[in-house]
Amino acid sequence: MPLRLDFTNMMAGPLPGAAGITADQWALGAKRFTAAHEAVRARHASGTLGFIDLPHDQVALEATLAVAAQFRGTVTDVLLLGIGGSALGPLALRAALRPPHWNELDDARREGWPRLHVLDNVDPASIAAMLARLPLAHTLVLVVSKSGGTVETMAQYLIVREALEGAVGEARARERLVFVTDPEVGALRAVARAEGIVALDIPPNVGGRFSVLSPVGLLPAALIGIDVRGVLAGAAACAARCGSPELATNPAGVFAVLQWLADREHGAHVQALMPYADGLRDIAAWFVQLWAESLGKIRPDGTSVGPTPLPALGATDQHAQVQLFMEGPADKTVTFIAVAGREEQGSIPARHAERPELGYLGGHTLGRLLEIERQATAGALAARGRMNATITVPAVDAPSVGALFYLFELATAYAGELYEVNAFDQPGVELGKQFAYAMLGRPGSEAARAQWDALPSPDPRWQV
Amino acid sequence: MPLRLDFTNMMAGPLPGAAGITADQWALGAKRFTAAHEAVRARHASGTLGFIDLPHDQVALEATLAVAAQFRGTVTDVLLLGIGGSALGPLALRAALRPPHWNELDDARREGWPRLHVLDNVDPASIAAMLARLPLAHTLVLVVSKSGGTVETMAQYLIVREALEGAVGEARARERLVFVTDPEVGALRAVARAEGIVALDIPPNVGGRFSVLSPVGLLPAALIGIDVRGVLAGAAACAARCGSPELATNPAGVFAVLQWLADREHGAHVQALMPYADGLRDIAAWFVQLWAESLGKIRPDGTSVGPTPLPALGATDQHAQVQLFMEGPADKTVTFIAVAGREEQGSIPARHAERPELGYLGGHTLGRLLEIERQATAGALAARGRMNATITVPAVDAPSVGALFYLFELATAYAGELYEVNAFDQPGVELGKQFAYAMLGRPGSEAARAQWDALPSPDPRWQV
C-alpha cells in the first residue's frame, strides 16, 4: 500500500458553513498546479533541482555503502557534526527507523551497530559533555556541511578534531574522519584533499535542506544499520506517483496546492504537521526547516510571503496545542500522519473494572486508541470548520519514510512556484551571518561592522 | 543577578519605519496591565490560582522530598507516565538541570541517581520498547494525572502495572508505584486509597499546565538529584519581582503586554521562544503548551483569539526558521533567552589558519560564538523591523529555571486577562475527547456517538 492523502476535511461541503476550499478555488489550484509542475520540470531539466535525482542515484548510494562498510565493526559510536538540514535528516532517520532511544540500548539490542550522536549546535555545555563521555578511540566523526564552511560546524570540527587527535593520535584521527560536502568548493573539501580524508559528495545542485536522500542522510543511516535501499525505493515509488501534471493524481501537488490555497484564500498561514507516531516526530521537525526556509521569502514585488510550519505530535499535543487549533483563530491547517496496521499492537489489560475512568479501556489496544484519537481530533476540527488532512502510511518503515521525505520535498518545490518565490535559496539569513562575522573579526566583514555599529543600542527605558 | 528582559527591539523608534510598539500603544498596555494585575490578584485571593502559592509551599516540598528520599538508592530507573503538563515540566527540568543525555550516562556519571524515562504518548512501539529494556525489578513508576482519569495515562498505567507485577509480584509492584494526582477526585486517588499506594497531591486549584512547581515536576526532579529547593527559590525570587501593578517594574507583566500588543496592534500572532542553550530547549516546548492551551480560546462575544507559540532553538534554528522570521510575513515576535557567563567556555583551537572559513575561529570560544550569533540574529531582525526581545538569565541553573517557569506562568495569567479569556480551562478539547470515548464505547458517550456518526465521511473525490 502506498501512502494516501485524504483531504475531505479541507474542502467546502464536507466542512460546515463558509469553511473550506471551494470548487472554484480548487479549479484555480489545479490550473496553477499545471504551470507549477511544468516550471519544476523545466528547472529540473536545466539541472538545478538535484534532489529529484537522488532516489535513483546508484553511484552515490554505492559510494555511501562502501564507506559505511569500511567502518562496520570498527567503531561503537558515530558522532555527526552538522546543523540545519545536515542534522535534521539524520535525526529523523534514526528516530523513525531504529528502535526508540537507540543510543540508550546496549550492544546486543543494537545488534552490534554503533550509536549515533548528533551535535547540531555550538552550546559549549553540550560539546563538553559529549567529549567527556564518548569513547573517542572507537568513534567515527562525520562532518557534514554543504558549503564546507558553515560557522557552527567548523567550530565543532576544530574542537572535536583536537580531542580526537588527543585520543588516538594525528594519523589515526585522519582515518576516523569522514566529510560530507560539496565535491569542489569549500574548506572541508580543500582539507579533505590536502590531508587524504575520506569525503562523500553532496551534489552541487542539492541544497542542505533537500539533502536527506544524499550521503547527508544515507551515510549516518547506513552506519547504524538502516535499510537505506528501502528508503530510496520508497522515495522512488513516491516520485513515480508524482509525475503527473494533473493535480488530482499527484499527491505532492495536492499537498502543495491545499496549503497554498488555505493560506491565500482562507488565511491559514500556520500549517501544522502532526504525526501520530513517536517515530515520526522528528520528520515534523525536518519538515519545519524545509517548509519555513524554502517558502519564507520576499517576492520580486517586495511582498513577504510564507506560511509558518508548526511541529506537533499526536496524541501528545492533544494536551498542548489542540485547544488552540480548535478554538483559537481559524488561521491554521493541520496535516495528520496516520500509520496503518497497528490495530493489534499494545493490548490494554482489563483491570479496575469498577472505575469508570479505567474499566472501558480493557480489551482495547494502544494502536487502536491512537488511531481513534486521531480520527476523533480530525472529526472535532472538521465539525468546527477547521481545515485538516490526513496522510496515511502503511507502517513506520524505510519505504514509507523515504516516500514522506520525497513527498514533502517535491511539494516544497511546487509550493515555491505557487508562492512565486525561489524555494532553493536563503538570502534572509545573510545579514545575521555578516553581523556575526563582523563581531568575530572575519576578514571581509567591515561593511557589516559599520551597519552593525549603526543599530540602536539597548535602551534602559525598555528593560526590566 | 536576576533575569533581565530587554525589549528595545519591540519598540517604535529603535525599530525602523512603522514597526514596533508606539508610545500610545505602550500607554494603553500599561493601563490595561494595571487592571489585569488587579484581576489576577483578586482571582488568587479568591483561591483559584494555586500556581502562585507553589514557590512557597513548604508542606508540598517536604512531602515530595520525603517520598524521593524513600526511594533513594533503591531504584536505578524512574518511569514517568503522563501527558501534556504532566510530562513537559519534568522533561524541561531534566534537560535543563541534569547533564545532557542523562539516561545515556553510566552510574558513576549520574552519581548514583536514577535515569528518568518519560512516556508521554500511547504509541505501542514506544511502550513495548521501553518495557523490553527497562530493569523493571529496579524501576519506580510515577503515574501523573491531575484529573486522575486521563485516557492516555490510564492506558499506559494498565499496561505498565501488569508488566511491573509480572516482574516483581503484586505486593512489591504496589510499593514501586507513586501516583501524583488530585487529593480527592479521580480514579488514581481512589485506587491509591483502596490499595495503599503512595500518592502526592496536585492542589485542586492548580491545573496540569501550571503544575511544574508542584510534585508533578518536583518529585521526578528530586528523584534524579535536581536541586528542587533552588528551583522554588528562583521562582519565589521571580514572584517577588512580579508583585508590582506598575508595568515598567513587572517582568511578567512586560512579557504579557508586549506579546498582546504585538498581536493586537501589529498582527504578530506567531510568537517564537528561542533559547540559545540546548538545556533550555524543552522549556520552549513546555511554554508552547502553556501559552497555546491557555490563550487559544473563544471569548464571550464569540470571537476566537490566541497567539500561536512557536518553539525554536538558537543557534540551530538560524539554519531552519530564521529565514522565515527575517523575510516571511511580519506576523511574528521572537523572544530570545540568552545565558550570561559562558564567554570562556569551549575554546576553539587555532588550526587551518590558511583557510578563510576556518582561520578566523581560532582563539574564540563557543560561548562567545553562541552569544555573538544571538546578538547578530536579534540585530538583523531589528534592522528589518522585526520585533524581538531578549530574556537573559545568569546561568542554566536551578534558580534561573524556576524563575523562567514562574515568569511565563504569571505572564500567561496576565495575558488571559488582556485577551479577555479564561486562561485556566480547555473546553476546546472536550469534543475530541467525547468522540474518542464514543468510539471506545465508554459509558455516557452516546450523544457524542450520534454527533460523530453525522459527520461527513471521507470522500473519494478528495483522496489521492
Mean pLDDT of A266-276: 98
DSSP secondary structure of A263-329: HHHH---EEEEEESSGGGHHHHHHHHHHHHHHH-EE-TTS-EE--EEEE--TTGGGGTTHHHHHHS-
Q: Which three cell numbers stand for residue A317?
A: 499535543
Those residues whose C-beta lies under 8 Å from the C-beta of residue A166, and which sit 6 or more positions away, are A136
Residue A225: what pLDDT?
A: 98
Residue A305: what pLDDT?
A: 98
Do both B260 and B199 map to the same domain? Answer: no
Cell 519514510, located at residue? A401
Do both B192 and B314 map to the same domain? Answer: no
Is residue B427 in some structural domain?
A: no
Do both A250 and A214 map to the same domain? Answer: no
Do both A117 and A182 map to the same domain? Answer: yes
Q: Is the per-residue pLDDT at A1 higher than 90?
A: no
For B126, list phi and psi in degrees, rounded to 5.
Answer: -70, -45
How many angstroms separate the CA of residue A47 from the nearest CA in chain B? 25
pLDDT digits (tens, 9 = 90+) for B83-105: 999 999 999 999 999 999 999 99
Of B345, B96, B99, nearest to B234 by C-alpha is B96
Is residue B337 in some structural domain?
A: yes
A8 to chain B: which residues are within 8 Å by CB?
Answer: 456-459, 462-463
Mean pLDDT of A223-234: 98
pLDDT band for A233, please (50, 70, 90 cuts): very high
Q: How far apart are CA A291 and CA A272, in angstroms?
A: 11
Into how many domains does chain A fold?
Answer: 2
Do both B123 and B246 map to the same domain? Answer: no
pLDDT digits (tens, 9 = 90+) for B213-235: 999 999 999 999 999 999 999 99
Is residue A446 in some structural domain?
A: no
Do both B20 and B132 map to the same domain? Answer: no
Do both A253 and A313 map to the same domain? Answer: yes
Do both B250 and B169 map to the same domain? Answer: no
pLDDT digits (tens, 9 = 90+) for A95-112: 999 999 999 999 999 999
Q: How far apart are CA A360 and CA A368, in angstroms?
A: 13
Do both A57 and A23 map to the same domain? Answer: no
Partners of B119 in beta bridges: B81
Residue A47: what pLDDT?
A: 96
Do both B73 and B221 map to the same domain? Answer: yes
Stated pTM of the model: 0.98
Residue A2: what pLDDT?
A: 87
Task: Given the residues A293, A371, A409, A417, select the one marked as catalytic.
Answer: A293
Do both A247 and A377 map to the same domain? Answer: yes
Is residue A366 in some structural domain?
A: yes
Cell 489496544, located at residue? A365
Is residue A449 in some structural domain?
A: no
pLDDT digits (tens, 9 = 90+) for A13-66: 999 999 999 999 999 999 999 999 999 999 999 999 999 999 999 999 999 999
Mean pLDDT of A298-309: 97
Q: Is B175 a catalytic residue?
A: no
Do both A28 and A103 map to the same domain? Answer: no
Q: Picking from B122-126, B140-144, B399-403, B449-453, which range would have the lowest pLDDT averaged per residue?
A: B449-453
B85 to chain A: which residues are within 8 Å by CB?
Answer: 319
Owning domain of residue A405: 4-42+232-419
Q: Is the per-residue pLDDT at B149 higher than 90?
A: yes
Q: Is the per-residue pLDDT at B269 higher than 80?
A: yes
Residue A443: what pLDDT?
A: 86
Q: How far apart are CA A202 and CA A211, in angstroms?
A: 7
Q: Is the per-residue pLDDT at B1 higher than 80?
A: no
Which of B107, B111, B270, B357 best tests the A interface by mutation, with the highest count of A CBs <10 A? B357
Q: Is the per-residue pLDDT at B446 higher than 80?
A: yes
Q: Is B319 a catalytic residue?
A: yes
Nearest neighbour of B366 by CB, restricted to A155, A325, A376: A155
CB-defined contacts A:B, below 8 A: 476
Contact B369 A440 (CB under 8 A): yes
B270 to chain A: which residues are within 8 Å by CB?
Answer: 270, 308
Q: What is the CATH number of the domain that holds A184?
A: 3.40.50.10490
Residue A193: what pLDDT?
A: 98
Q: How far apart are CA B34 and CA B290, in angstroms?
A: 22
Mean pLDDT for chain A?
Answer: 97
Residue B334: what pLDDT?
A: 98
Q: Is the per-residue pLDDT at A342 higher than 80?
A: yes
Q: Cβ(B455)–Cβ(A379) under 8 Å?
A: yes
pLDDT digits (tens, 9 = 90+) for B280-321: 999 999 999 999 999 999 999 999 999 999 999 999 999 999
pLDDT digits (tens, 9 = 90+) for A108-129: 999 999 999 999 999 999 999 9
Residue A373: what pLDDT?
A: 98
Mean pLDDT of B245-265: 98
Nearest neighbour of A305 by CB, restricted to B151, B152, B328: B328
Q: Is the per-residue pLDDT at A383 higher than 80?
A: yes
Hey, CA dihedral for A283, A284, A289, A290, is it positive or negative?
positive
Of B292, B372, B385, nearest to B336 by C-alpha is B372
Q: How far apart are CA B114 and CA B221, in angstroms?
A: 11
Residue B128: what pLDDT?
A: 98
Is residue B101 in some structural domain?
A: yes
Residue B456: what pLDDT?
A: 87
Q: Which three cell numbers stand for residue A278?
A: 513517536
Q: Is the per-residue pLDDT at B164 higher than 80?
A: yes
Mean pLDDT for chain B?
Answer: 97
Is residue A461 in some structural domain?
A: no
pLDDT band for A161, please (50, 70, 90 cuts): very high
Q: How far apart are CA B392 and CA B7, in angstroms?
A: 11
Is residue B26 in some structural domain?
A: yes
